């Protein structure tokens, strides 16, 4: 086992020293004193000594630090705002969460109502779809050929008192005409 003088000597001579040896020197007050003496000897050999040699500098610094008064931090004063602020923050956080939940619930309710309303309208407008695509791929006779006879039939229905059933049938027929018209428009874009 190496002594503190050997460890300090190895450090002063700039030899490689393990980390454990270095920690041992730093934690040993006698090794620090030996370090100081070895460096003073080296300075004397190189003729680098100061005019006045102060051997107790580190001790005087340690004594001066002990005489310094301790700085005590003032106690923190709690104002009403600092006491109430966390409660307000907690309340705002919870209120915000409830607000978000309520907004989502309202959006879902409105969406469901709109969906139900649109599906009811789709049921009213839906009728049997007629296949008007001929075998050749284009419409030979447009839907508007029978326009005159349907118009006279529609005006006769409008002039008399319509029942709910007749009104429903008329809406379905109009929806079929619109669907057929849109289909013919898609099939014959080159004829325009």
Mean pLDDT for 119-131 is: 60
- Phi/psi for 10 (5° steps) reads -65, -40
Q: Is 163 inside a domain boundary?
A: yes
Distance CA 141, CA 132 (A): 10
pLDDT tens digits for 170-179?
A: 899 999 999 8
pLDDT greater than 80 at residue 152 = no
pLDDT tens digits for 102-119?
A: 999 999 988 888 887 776
Q: Is 78 inside a domain boundary?
A: no
> Is the domain of 143 the same as that of 171?
yes
Distance CA 116, CA 122 (A): 10
Q: Is 174 inside a domain boundary?
A: yes
Q: Is 106 inside a domain boundary?
A: yes
Domain boundary among 75, 110, 125: 125
User: Residue ranges of the alpha helices (H) in 28-163?
Assistant: 29-45, 57-67, 80-125, 147-159
pLDDT greater than 70 at residue 142 = no
Mean pLDDT for 28-48 is: 83
- Global pTM reads 0.28
In terms of average pLDDT, the best of 6-20, 44-58, 69-83, 150-164 is: 6-20
> Is the domain of 108 the same as that of 134?
no
Q: Residue 145: give the domain boundaries.
A: 130-187
| pLDDT at residue 133 in the model | 57
Which distant-in-sequence residues (6+ apart) come within 8 Å of 66 by Cβ? none
Distance CA 53, CA 91 (A): 69
Q: Is 64 inside a domain boundary?
A: no
Q: Is 155 inside a domain boundary?
A: yes
> Is the domain of 117 the same as that of 134?
no
Number of domains within the chain? 3
Q: Is 25 inside a domain boundary?
A: yes
pLDDT greater than 80 at residue 73 = no
Q: Is 162 inside a domain boundary?
A: yes
Distance CA 91, CA 87 (A): 6
> Is the domain of 145 the same as that of 173?
yes
Distance CA 98, CA 102 (A): 6
pLDDT greater than 70 at residue 144 = no
The CATH number that applies at residue 32 is 1.10.10.880
């Amino acid at each position: 086992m190496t002594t503190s003088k050997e460890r300090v000597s190895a450090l002063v001579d700039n030899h490689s020293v393990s980390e454990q040896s270095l920690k041992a020197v730093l934690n040993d007050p006698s090794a620090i004193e030996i370090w100081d003496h070895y460096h003073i000897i080296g300075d004397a050999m190189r003729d680098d000594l100061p005019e006045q040699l102060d051997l107790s500098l580190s001790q005087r610094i340690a004594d001066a630090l002990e005489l310094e008064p301790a700085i005590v931090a003032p106690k923190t004063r709690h104002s009403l705002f600092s006491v109430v602020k966390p409660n307000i923050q907690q309340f705002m956080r919870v209120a915000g969460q409830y607000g978000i939940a309520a907004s989502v619930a309202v959006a879902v309710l409105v969406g469901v109502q709109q969906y139900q309303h649109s599906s009811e309208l789709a049921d009213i407008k839906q009728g049997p779809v007629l296949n008007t695509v001929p075998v050749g791929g284009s419409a030979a006779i447009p839907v508007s050929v029978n326009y005159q006879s349907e118009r006279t039939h529609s005006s006769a229905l409008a002039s008399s008192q319509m029942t709910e059933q007749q009104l429903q049938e008329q809406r379905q027929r109009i929806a079929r005409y619109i669907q057929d018209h849109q289909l013919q428009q898609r099939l014959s874009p080159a004829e325009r």
